[in-house]
Amino acid sequence: MTIKLKPLKDQVIVITGASSGIGLATAFAAAEKGARLVLAARNEQALEEIAQEINEKGGQAIAVRADVGRQQDVQRIADAALSHFGGFDTWVNDAGVSIYGRLLEVSDEDNRRLFDTNFWGLVYGSQMAAMHLRNRGGAIINIGSVLSDTAIPMQGMYSATKHAVKGFTDALRIELEEEGAPVSVTLIKPAAINTPYPDHAKNYTDRKLTLPPPVYEPEEVANAILYAATHQKRDIMVGGGGKLMSLTNKLAPGLMDLSSEKLMTDQQLLDEPAQHREGALHQPGEGGRIHGRIKDTMPTSLYTRAVTNPMVAGAVVAAAGAAALALMGKKRANKNGGNYQQPNTRPEMVEVVEIVEEIHVTPPPPQRPI
């Protein structure tokens, strides 16, 4: 069924994990569009400051301290939305954290806590939202990951939580459609995103944590979330690099396993000693910061812009075609010139994705200074 969603200026949006990273970027972007906000996270002080900043700029936001791993806290989020705004139109389940460590080394306590936040927190939020929206209509937006489609070493249990998120979200969408409920259910699957995520992860290694490239900026995920709040969409992958990983895992899973085995562990660890190894798994993390510490990032993703904007889709096809032709021409010229060159060990499609992603359609929204 076709579901009509309200414009952002007429919406009340609930965002969990709103004190930093993707959640915070989404909160500021939604406030700029006129949405009223219910912001939830464990860091109460950071939330209060964020809500105050939005309100001082003419927006409307309330802060609710909540641990989404506790069902009663999720109920308080919904109650706050009802008492302050009379309800909500979109619920964004963004709260999440990770663990970097080998599966045979991570404690059961830490693994259960990870599932409490990443999976059960999302389940509680989705159930609460579905019960509220099944009659009035609206959107449920769940933040999965490229690791909903594949898995990597060092973040094995995080990958498991995101696979569970995908399975739950897909089943919820089907059941709501089956009963004719006017609720859009979208799974957002970001690639690596430049947020404080590595700083907030619990670290079982002796090295500082980072993210494997390519890394995208959180504003790109916020754009996708707000698109899903106003357009019925099954899922959105944020980042062409993530789409390539997903496709490779689907079409050549053995190759993906080999690539992860050879490359992925070192790409997640820096040659610097670990600091703050406990992260934010069991206690609130540092709030108020959207961006991480990675300098070499992709500010936009043309692939994601094409998914969320049909006007851009033609540009993506043209750019990909031009990139492929350029690569073919380069190889043909090398062959005809008689000069032997060492074969490129990187898949040609990776080169195409990188060339296409570097063509920026529009600049990202202004970034809040942190």
d(CA 122, CA 45): 23
d(CA 21, CA 236): 18
- Cα→Cα distances 186→90, 135, 195, 237, Å: 11, 18, 22, 11
- Cα→Cα distances 362→299, 314, 359, Å: 10, 15, 9
d(CA 1, CA 15): 26
Helix (H, G, I), strand (E, B) or coil at 144: coil
d(CA 42, CA 32): 24
Is 340 a residue of the active site? no
Which tokens is 213 given? 């490239």
**Helical ranges in 7-155 per DSSP H:** 21-32, 44-56, 71-85, 108-115, 121-136
CB burial string 108-139: b at 16+ within 10 A, e below: eebbebbbbbbbbbbbbbbebbbebbeeeebb
Helix (H, G, I), strand (E, B) or coil at 238: strand
- Cα→Cα distances 36→8, 111, 152, 229, Å: 9, 35, 37, 13
Which tokens is 101 given? 């460590």
Exactly one of 100, 158, 197, 303 is catalytic; name it. 158
Strands (E), the chain: 12-16, 36-41, 60-65, 90-93, 99-100, 138-143, 183-190, 192-193, 202-203, 207-209, 215-216, 235-238, 269-273
H/E segment holding residue 327: helix 310-336
Which tokens is 19 given? 């004190």
Q: Which residues form the catalytic set?
A: 158
